[in-house]
Amino acid sequence: IPSSDEDFTQEFTEDLYSIMGTLRYLLFEPPPTQAIQQTIEKLDMGNLSFDLPKLQIRAIGRMTNEGFMILEKSEASAHAASSLQGGYRKLRDQLINEGVLSVGEKLRFEKNHTFDSPSAAATIVAGNPKNGNICWKDVSGKTLKELETSKL
């Protein structure tokens, strides 16, 4: 590729990633290579957890190019608080109807699902509004916000 076209090609590729992620086509995101059960039992670098100890709920997720992905077999609260309004309540119901979340004593992710933001993912897991930047933590206890700040 001529050097004059390299910038255009790079910009086109970045736009393609963004558009495909927005449309929820995960073409550029490789499937998880580790067994999901091993991922839940032992967090590796890049995975973040959100725990609700009183409800004995744990969700595992990670940032991707398309958004925030919650991994299969993660758990979510079966109870939706009255503060869960509008779009989040509809999204939660949609995920149940589509079979992404199975209903039981706790909700359970039957497959990986990518959300637009860490806060959307945390809100669905908790059943009430949450700030994903402080809810999702790595194995050492650092929040997503702290991890992103340290990369700057």
Strand-pair category, 68-70 with 57-63: antiparallel
Instruction: Give the pLDDT score at 149.
Output: 83
Instruction: Give the pLDDT score at 44.
Output: 39
Instruction: Give the pLDDT score at 82.
Output: 85
Instruction: Give the pLDDT score at 39.
Output: 35
The alpha carbons of the chain give a radius of gyration, in whole angstroms, of: 17
Three-state DSSP at 55 gives: helix
Is the per-residue pLDDT at 41 higher than 50?
Answer: no
User: What is the pTM assigned to this prediction?
Assistant: 0.68
AA identity, residue 58: R
Instruction: Give the pLDDT score at 1.
Output: 67
Instruction: Give the pLDDT score at 30.
Output: 52
pLDDT tens, residue by residue, 58-95:
999 999 888 999 999 999 999 988 888 888 999 999 99
pLDDT tens, residue by residue, 9-23:
777 777 776 776 667
AA identity, residue 128: N
Residues forming a β-bridge with 137: 49, 143
Instruction: Give the pLDDT score at 26.
Output: 60
**Burial bucket for residue 41 (CB in 10 Å: 0-12, 13-18, 19+):** exposed
AA identity, residue 147: L
pLDDT tens, residue by residue, 103-141:
999 999 999 999 999 999 999 999 999 999 999 999 889
- Please compute the mean of the pLDDT values over residues 45-66 and round it to a whole number: 89
